[in-house]
Amino acid sequence: MKHYLLAPSILSANFASLGEDITKVITAGGDIIHFDVMDNHYVPNLTMGPMILKSLINYGIRVPFDVHLMIKPVDNLIPAFAKAGATYITFHPEASDHIDRTLQIIREHGCKSGLVLNPTTSLDYIEYIMDKLDIILLMSVNPGFGNQKFLPNILNKLCKLRKIIDFSGYNILIEIDGGVKIDNIRQLAIAGADIFVIGSAIFNNRDYKQAIDAIRKEISI
């Protein structure tokens, strides 16, 4: 049985008591914390920066933070997120003028690097940078908001990406973000995802453990 990783997206968490809410979701079984950074420029929403990440780590959150940058430009904020304690840093190729350079900056700062592909962004972007990727995040909604509907065409894209990575021999994780719910997660696991970002399907429940247990049961395959 493969151990899939669940990455609760705190975009749907209670921001009035973020540290406590994250602790709750980790106790309930979350493996990684997905940290959505939005700038009201690359995406039409505004969220959190490195100060908040640092506070959460100082508060005592010890699981890896997966920082999803939806900001433009990207490069100048990477050192601050790395210093604040990010484990993974991912960004959108459309937001960087020099994708290879941005990936190098992330690794130079001691983080794992990754590219995020929007629903209509081609898989071709990864062809010449596979050696610089630890993770690829496939967006299955348009970035900017939680609780949107999964775009079904992404299933085919995920299958294609799985094949490309397996054929390449590189050890790159596939993460999927947007509209992941109990009724589609099994299909996504079979199609080859390794990490599932889940926002509303966890945080919109009263009992996080019950929600996570039910999700895990779906992917006990």
Q: Is 68 in the site for Zn ion (CB under 5 A)?
A: yes
Looking up tokens 């939680």, which residue turns up?
A: 146
- 88 residue type, one letter: Y
Helices 208-218/18-27 angle, 10° precision: 40
User: Could you say which DSSP state residue 40 is in?
Assistant: S
Cβ neighbours of 27 (radius 10 Å): 11
Q: Which of 12, 24, 36, 43 binds Zn ion (CB under 5 A)?
A: 36
Comparing CB distances to Zn ion, the nearer of 180 and 211 is 180
What are the backbone dihedrals phi and psi of residue 101, each rounded to the nearest 5 degrees, phi first?
Answer: -65, -45
Residue 177 annotated as catalytic: yes
Q: Which residue is nearest to ligand DX5 (CB)?
A: 199
Which residues in 149-208 contact Zn ion (CB under 5 A)?
Answer: 177
Looking up tokens 């690359």, which residue turns up?
A: 42
Comparing CB distances to ligand DX5, the nearer of 148 and 187 is 148
Residue 36 annotated as catalytic: yes
Please pick, among 21, 39, 134, 177, the residue that the annotation labels catalytic.
Answer: 177
| Contact residues: ligand DX5, CB under 6 A | 9, 11-12, 34, 36, 68, 141, 143-148, 177-180, 197-201
Q: Which of the residues are catalytic?
A: 36, 177
